[in-house]
Structure 1
Amino acid sequence: MGNDQDPNDASSKAAARASQVSDHLNTTQDQKKPNTSRRRRKDKKDELPADYSDILSHVAKLREIANTPDQSRRGYVRQKQDGKLWVRERIDKLLDAGSFKEVGSVSGHVTWKQLGGEREEPVDYLPHNNLQGFGRLNGRQIIFTADDFSIRAGHQDGNLMAKTLWSEKMSVSMKLPMIKLTDGSSGGGSVSTIAATGFSYVPPMQGFDVVVKQLNMGIPNLGAVLGPAIGLGAARVVSCHFSVMAGNVGSLFNAGPQVVKNATFEEGLSMTDLGGPAMHCTNGTIDNLAASEEECFEQIRTVLSYLPNCGTQVPPTIHTDDPVDREDISLRSVIPRKRERMYDPRKIITGVVDKDSFFEIGPLWGRTAIIGLARLGGRPIGIISNNAELLTGAIDAAGAQKLTRHLKFCDIFNLPVLQFVDVPGYAVGTVAERTATMRWGVELTKAYYTTTMPLFNVITRKCYGVAGGVMVDCREPHARVAWPSGEWGSLPLDGGIDVGHSYELSQIEKEKGVEARMERYLELQTMYRRLMNPVRTANHFSIEEIIDPAHTRQVVSEWVRMVYESDLPERVVHRMSGKLQPLYA
């Protein structure tokens, strides 16, 4: 049959298999014998360490060079001669001790020495002139960038833009506040780049789309001018939610004195003349002035303490020993009974908010308006007040711009706004017309009606015209009260009587003389003053409540408590879902 097998073949196969097993066993035994043959070994000096200590030593050496100032380098010498801190000194003074974690710590230009084979070691190193990293401010995690003006004056040919872009994107991804210390062009170009690259590039603007995203997400962008901020460096700090300039060393401009000399023939300008604090802390380009770099850092810490990490969070609250029901009797007499007399509105602000909590923003520009940050019962709020000491509180073009910016600031950070209203209207006259007060007044109106953060009004004295109406009537339902000194209407009485009774008064003057006209004018004034008693307005519920000024803190603190407990939690949910998308930029 086909399945029959020859016995001889079966025996042969069995023998072959037995032989294979025997050979295998003999081979295994042979392998157990020590190998006594000589083998060529690598020279020890060519061997790379198993623990990668060579690579780690490279990193350590580059970091040591970067952390040690080169006192022979011209840029470092100039930095010290100008009275400025070195970039790593700034970081030490800004951040909580021991919290600095640098990213890109060994990025830069390295000269290597070949040691044979794969082995090499760095012998010279020029770090990139922009430091990035993480740190903490009063315990708050932040991300930051800091220019090193001592290397190529902050120009792009000494800077790796990828580092800055990384930090901007990481701020968005991790929702961390962004701190920017500017001293140079922050990566802006230099003509020497053309010689180095062999061509001239079309100017890029990498990363500004990310900056705008940060601003609108409510991720705090806080910047300090700690030297000459030029071009891109200037733009980066001016775009921040809050900016501060060191008065002893800071300046900011589109181009430096040499470029200006050739472009506009303005000769002999210093950096301070061109763009120092007297220029930019008084025109709104930079928010605040500080006496020194250290004070800049302190202002940044202070502003951050009022703000959330992102617009999808409620602002951080703190404990306060200042009781919310504290009375301030002095507020009853702070508004002079004689309407022509001025007063200091800051006394009202500081008398109402938590003690030592008011931080003013932009005190040197747009001075018809006072803005800032404060707390009530430990809860952060935005502050707006008219300034009765300047133009009797009328809002001019600069004041309107200042208020517009602050409304957007508070809206993006979920800060309830407390307003102290004493406004006779928008500024009038040729200066007001020439500076486009109406244009900026309309922009302010848009800001009041497009922002949605809660707003409470305390009418302390005047509330007239379009400006008054915009400030106190832009929210429904109204959250507002008046002091006994409050007065309101379409026009202030002084001037309003002349307009409303012009024919009558002119006829009296023609027929009976100037004295008769004045007598009638005083009669009309007395009548109107009586009719303008704020209690009459409250009788018709045209003002919701008239309060004792001494009780103002108690009233507004209760409002802020309710906002934080009911309104803000819902608000952040709407922002997370995309239902509410406030815009800062």
Structure 2
Amino acid sequence: MPEPAPPSTAQSAKDRLAQVSAHVSPPAANTPKKRRRRTSNQSDLPADYSDILNQLEKLRTIAATPDPKNRGYVRQKQAGKLWVRERVDQLLDAGTFREVGSVSGTVTWKHLGGTKEEPIDYVPSNNVQGFGKLGGRNIVFTADDFTIRAGHADGALAEKTMYMEKLSYTMKLPIVKLVDGSSGGGSVSTIKKEGFSYIPPMSTFPWVVKQLNAGIPNLGAVVGPAIGLGAARVTVCHFSVMAADVGSLFNAGPQVVAGATFEEGLSFTDLGGPAVHCTNGTIDNLAADESECFSQLRTVLSYLPSSGDSLPPVTPSSDPVDRTSPELRSIIPRKPERMYDPRKVITTVVDAGSFFEIGALWGTTAITGLARLGGRPVGIISLNCEINAGALDAFGSQKLTRHLKFLDIFNIPLLQFVDVPGYAIGTVAERTATMRHGVNLAVAYFSTTMPVFSVVTRRVYGVAGGIMLDCREPRCRIAWPSGNWGSLPLKGGVEVGHAHELSQIRKEKGEEARKERLRQLNEEYERLMNPVRTANAFGVEQIVDPAHTRGIVAEWVRHVYEVLLPVRVMERVSGKLQPSFA
């Protein structure tokens, strides 16, 4: 049979066009539609996820609304304490709070059928934390909620706290801790809840140590009873402050103490109130109330960089750096037995209103703090001649050691006003291990590397004086005309140095002759102690008019910030310089 003729090209094109048209044209009106079988009930849920958003909003509203019938909330208010979210509002700059873990906690759900459910009851995690700004600076923070299980651990708190510690370190953001309770520490009831006992974990502390040594500000406030882990979390901070009206701190509460040591009837304040821990160095500063705690945290942060990889923040100053202070010429009495106000010296030299004292109630033979010169932050150290004549005791040495590490970790240069008769002496000094802590101070002076400038206002004696002034090479220091120095003070020192001669005179010529010779020796030594003679031998680099101290020191600080600190920061970043606080 003959084969059929192939279709023409025109016919093929028409067939293809018809086929395409059938695909794209709408079906006829009478063509029945095929119904798609519902495969799931997910299509009942709103496409904009408003159901999930509404659940979140409801939980957040419950968490942000205090329950006046809740016994924990009632107890908080009766104690005169702020609620946790009131604290956050007072601490942070207005409108900057961004919560992390805002719906963590225990929720009771009501099943509505299918996959639908709604929360009907919610107990938030007993810690509020997140991001915010403090004095215009970005920070992370944690704030305990004592109204819920007195701040003891719940299912989410440990993870939340660990997360914030990690964020602080990795993002190089200062962290602020408002401690009221155990900060997630354990409770006996936790054993019943979990069904087993456990070895106490300390998973957050490696991150805390990293923060401390990286120079990331770690600041804490005691705004209630800080117990166990809560006490540890605030004590380890670079800076801590306690509210005098509501704050206390202890390893275990009065009931546990009564069972262990038989000390009964103790209140929180008796056991670990401000009179205990603001005077022994556990807590740095005392504040009148919670509001002042927040103010002090804000002030301290204003002096500090966000990490050791940056410079301290410089602020404008209206106080002229070349301002002279004639009153300093007569502030040091000519009679060595008389005292003067060392804080007056500090506040006269630094920018007006910039001195912030740290640790005023403990280690009172020493004065430490922060200030500014030309708007640039500096650390301050001074001896306090009004307490124990300025002799460094054990507490004073511990205080200075801590402050030196604090300044070193934050790249803050040190300005010190030196008037030290030496280490404290006597039986109390020996029993309190003054030399042990004094040697630790020497190690701190010689192991830290921040720039140091010394102003010798009066006495420099013994090992204590030597370590303070010889801790940097070359030395940057000046002396006032009131300078007086040596291995030992003349009073008592002359008799020791000439003991044999004076003893012989008494044996041969009597007591009156001995006294006369002692008077002659004292007069001779006092003449030789003229500080100008030391300057003649270049034993002191420069004796200056006290009135010009501010200008001299401010110029040194300017040079440090413009030339030395940028190099120091690069060495920190490269790992060449690794100061240690903890």
Pick aligned residue for 1:172 from 157, 160, 169: 169
Paired amino acid for 2:105: G
Separation (CA, whole Å) in 2 of partners of 1:27 and 1:155: 72
Partner of 2:129: 132
Partner of 1:279: 276
Separation (CA, whole Å) in 2 of partners of 1:41 and 1:51: 23
Structure 2 counterparts to residues 342-381 of structure 1, below 5 A: 342-381=339-378
Separation (CA, whole Å) in 2 of partners of 1:25 and 1:285: 85
Partner of 2:469: 472
Deviation per CA, 1:273-300: give whole Å up to 9, x if none: 0000000000000000000000000000
Q: Which segments of 5 or more consecutive residues in structure 2 lack a partner in the other structure?
A: none
Paired residue secondary structure (1:385): strand
**Residue 312 (structure 1) aligned with residue 309 (structure 2):** yes
Shift of 1:20: 9.5
Paired residue secondary structure (1:373): strand
Paired amino acid for 2:28: K
Structure 2 counterparts to residues 186-205 of structure 1, below 5 A: 186-205=183-202
**Residue 397 (structure 1) aligned with residue 386 (structure 2):** no
Partner of 1:81: 78
Separation (CA, whole Å) in 1 of partners of 2:531 and 2:294: 46
Paired amino acid for 1:126: V
Paired amino acid for 2:89: D
Separation (CA, whole Å) in 2 of partners of 1:308 and 1:45: 51
**Residue 208 (structure 1) aligned with residue 205 (structure 2):** yes
Separation (CA, whole Å) in 2 of partners of 1:288 and 1:178: 18
Partner of 1:115: 112
Paired residue secondary structure (1:516): helix
Paired amino acid for 1:461: R
Structure 2 counterparts to residues 253-292 of structure 1, below 5 A: 253-292=250-289
Give the conservation status (yes or no) of the 8 Å contact 1:151–1:158: no
Pick aligned residue for 1:547 from 544, 547, 570: 544
Paired residue secondary structure (1:126): strand
Partner of 2:27: 32
Please say which of residues 506-515 and 159-168 is displaced more in the overlay: 506-515
Q: Scaled by the length of structure 1, what TM-score is found?
A: 0.95
Separation (CA, whole Å) in 1 of partners of 2:412 and 2:534: 30
Paired amino acid for 2:402: R
Separation (CA, whole Å) in 2 of partners of 1:474 and 1:9: 111
Partner of 1:100: 97
Paired residue secondary structure (1:157): coil
Deviation per CA, 1:302-360: give whole Å up to 9, x if none: 00000000111111111111111111111111111000111110010011000010000
Shift of 1:172: 1.1
Please say which of residues 237-246 and 162-171 is displaced more in the overlay: 162-171
Give the conservation status (yes or no) of the 8 Å contact 2:371–2:379: yes
Q: Which segments of 5 or more consecutive residues in structure 1 lack a partner in the other structure?
A: 1-5
The alpha-carbon distance between structure 1 residues 316 and 30, as it changes in their structure 2 partners (threshold 3 A), is: closer
Q: Scaled by the length of structure 2, what TM-score is found?
A: 0.96
Separation (CA, whole Å) in 2 of partners of 1:177 and 1:561: 26
Partner of 1:518: 515
**Residue 419 (structure 1) aligned with residue 416 (structure 2):** yes
Paired amino acid for 1:418: L
Partner of 2:433: 436
Please say which of residues 67-76 and 149-158 is displaced more in the overlay: 149-158
Separation (CA, whole Å) in 2 of partners of 1:546 and 1:47: 87
Separation (CA, whole Å) in 2 of partners of 1:115 and 1:106: 21
Partner of 2:565: 568
Give the conservation status (yes or no) of the 8 Å contact 1:381–1:417: yes
Give the conservation status (yes or no) of the 8 Å contact 2:455–2:479: yes
Deviation per CA, 1:53-97: give whole Å up to 9, x if none: 111111111111010001111110100000000000001111110
The alpha-carbon distance between structure 1 residues 117 and 46, as it changes in their structure 2 partners (threshold 3 A), is: farther
**Residue 233 (structure 1) aligned with residue 230 (structure 2):** yes
The alpha-carbon distance between structure 1 residues 308 and 24, as it changes in their structure 2 partners (threshold 3 A), is: same
Give the conservation status (yes or no) of the 8 Å contact 2:126–2:154: no
The alpha-carbon distance between structure 1 residues 11 and 285, as it changes in their structure 2 partners (threshold 3 A), is: same
Separation (CA, whole Å) in 1 of partners of 2:155 and 2:265: 28
Partner of 1:337: 334
Give the conservation status (yes or no) of the 8 Å contact 1:46–1:117: no
Paired amino acid for 1:32: P
Give the conservation status (yes or no) of the 8 Å contact 1:46–1:119: no
Paired residue secondary structure (2:154): helix
Separation (CA, whole Å) in 1 of partners of 2:175 and 2:443: 28
Paired amino acid for 1:169: K
Deviation per CA, 1:28-48: give whole Å up to 9, x if none: 378623564585998999821
**Residue 327 (structure 1) aligned with residue 302 (structure 2):** no
Pick aligned residue for 2:574 from 574, 577, 581: 577
Give the conservation status (yes or no) of the 8 Å contact 1:130–1:159: no
Give the conservation status (yes or no) of the 8 Å contact 1:159–1:187: no
Separation (CA, whole Å) in 1 of partners of 2:434 and 2:551: 36
Paired amino acid for 1:194: I
Separation (CA, whole Å) in 2 of partners of 1:279 and 1:550: 40
Partner of 2:143: 146
Separation (CA, whole Å) in 1 of partners of 2:466 and 2:453: 14
Please say which of residues 512-521 and 497-506 is displaced more in the overlay: 512-521
Paired amino acid for 2:117: E
Separation (CA, whole Å) in 1 of partners of 2:104 and 2:234: 24
Shift of 1:19: 13
Paired amino acid for 1:544: E
Structure 2 counterparts to residues 289-308 of structure 1, below 5 A: 289-308=286-305
**Residue 160 (structure 1) aligned with residue 157 (structure 2):** yes
The alpha-carbon distance between structure 1 residues 346 and 37, as it changes in their structure 2 partners (threshold 3 A), is: same
Shift of 1:21: 6.1
Give the conservation status (yes or no) of the 8 Å contact 1:327–1:551: yes
Paired amino acid for 1:111: T
Paired amino acid for 1:33: A
Give the conservation status (yes or no) of the 8 Å contact 2:125–2:154: no
Partner of 1:3: none
Deviation per CA, 1:108-156: give whole Å up to 9, x if none: 1111111122211111111101111111111111110000000000001
Paired residue secondary structure (1:156): coil
